[in-house]
Amino acid sequence: MRPNSYRQHGCGNDTNRDFLNFSGVSDTVTEIIVQAQGKPISIGVSGAWGAGKSSMIRLVRAGLEQRAEGKRSDFIFVEFNAWLYQGYDDARAALMEVIATALAKEAEQRRTGLEKAKELLQRVNWFRAVKLGAGSALALSLGLPPTGILNEAIELGKKIATGNAGADDIAKAEGTVTDAASKASGLIKPCTEASPPKEIHAIRKSCEATLEVMGTKLIVLIDDLDRCLPQTTISTLEAVCLFLFLENTAFVIAADDSVIRHAVRRHFDGIVDEGLVTSYFDKLIQVPIRVPPLGTQEVRAYLMLLFVENSTGLNADEKEAVRKKVCEQLSQSWRGKRVDRAFMQTVHTSLPADLVARFNTADRLAPLMTSATQIAGNPRLIKRFLNALSIRMSISKSHGVRG
């Protein structure tokens, strides 16, 4: 028998629906960005692993899109998951390229600011090229292809000269020469200021100019930073510094601040002043937001919503109607309003019997899920528990049927 699977709604999966009653906090973040009126803003969304940081930034994006009222020109969103680049790319360069590429693509679609956007992308490409090494940086500044490509061509040339090259080697040599030419032309920036410090300043000015011409705001949403190794974490934060505090930009960074502090300690080996460790991240963040912990009331409602979402007896519209009523009830919890079985039976006229039985389970599990130190109300851990329980129940039922 196939077990139910409780997907991570409202805590790090592909949904903008609020299962954790976070909309109050996300609406506040949305309002801060809107009220900034183009002034640079950086917002840190902190919380433990699995607490719902990803859900929070998705709700922020959904809120901004709703505020834009369908006007595409208001915001350009860039979502960057640093963890995906770990081990495959330099996170610092990757973030720069993702931002520049997104602006170039938007400019092309909107037919405005295209020249500025292309200039920004070209500058980023040059800056990324110098990461190839000192020899490559020198070659690029002289208008030559990177040394790595030249070395490959030289080795192939030696084979051909000594008569040890076959047809494949000759074909590869021709391809290498073509590749060298194309890569050199794509990476070299035909400008006179070819030093990294000047380019950093030029990239910042170019980004601001692009956004001004396009008449839009750049919203960068950075997620899963606390999953990365220290080197990737610091590299991403360094790239954030490059674009931070520019006009018409907003950064929303989701990360466990304790993991960031650990990365800073590892990066600056030997640092003993905890104040310096903490201030490193704090200096990047203007508005710190902490994902609120779930109490027994919220955990009970969360469990019930998961059971509703997994029910086959309700259609999608009915499930969404239940979700909205539960979140509305939770927002009134300070008045003594409760989300329990009795309330759930009032939100829909004909709930399936098996679903009502699961509400009883939620009533019993909620205090345990909140007080157990191994779970402590963590949404992701709650879902793991439910998935494990579902599998065990399915196995047990399967064995019972066979018996």
Per the document, the length of the chain is 403
* 69 phi-psi bin (left φ>0, alpha ψ -120 to 50, beta other): left
pLDDT at 80 > cutoff 60: yes
- What is the average pLDDT score of the chain? 79
Domain 23-108+203-290 annotated CATH 3.30.1490.20: no
pLDDT at 30 > cutoff 90: yes
Measured CA to CA in angstroms, residue 6 lies from 34, 305, 378 at distances of 35, 11, 14
What pLDDT is attached to residue 49? 83
Which residue from 262, 264, 217 is spatially nearest to 238, judged by alpha carbons?
Answer: 264
pTM over 0.75: no
Identify the band that residue 70 occupies on the pLDDT scale cut at 50, 70 and 90. low
Contact 95, 236 (CB under 8 A): yes
Instruction: Parse the chain into domains and list their residue ranges.
Output: 23-108+203-290, 144-187, 296-402
- pLDDT tens track for 92-143: 788 889 999 999 999 999 888 999 999 999 888 877 776 544 334 444 443 4
Which residue from 211, 145, 218 is spatially nearest to 178, judged by alpha carbons?
Answer: 145
The residue with greater pLDDT, 202 or 89, is 202
Q: Mind giving me the DSSP string for 201-232?
A: HHHHHHHHHHHHHHT-EEEEEEE-GGGS-HHH
What pLDDT is attached to residue 212? 93
pLDDT at 150 > cutoff 90: no
Three-state DSSP at 249 gives strand
Structure tokens at 245: 């505090």
Q: What is the DSSP code (8-state) at residue 2?
A: P
Measured CA to CA in angstroms, residue 19 lies from 55, 73, 141, 176, 305 at distances of 9, 30, 53, 54, 7
What pLDDT is attached to residue 194? 56
- pLDDT tens track for 165-205: 555 554 554 454 445 445 444 443 445 445 667 878 888 99
**pLDDT exceeding 70 applies to what percent of the chain?**
75
What pLDDT is attached to residue 162? 54
Which residue from 84, 83, 66 is spatially nearest to 75, judged by alpha carbons?
Answer: 66
- pLDDT tens track for 254-300: 988 888 888 888 887 767 677 777 778 888 889 999 887 888 999 99
Identify the band that residue 61 occupies on the pLDDT scale cut at 50, 70 and 90. very high
What pLDDT is attached to residue 166? 55
Contact 295, 370 (CB under 8 A): yes
- pLDDT tens track for 330-387: 888 888 889 989 999 899 888 899 999 999 989 999 999 999 888 888 898 998 888 8
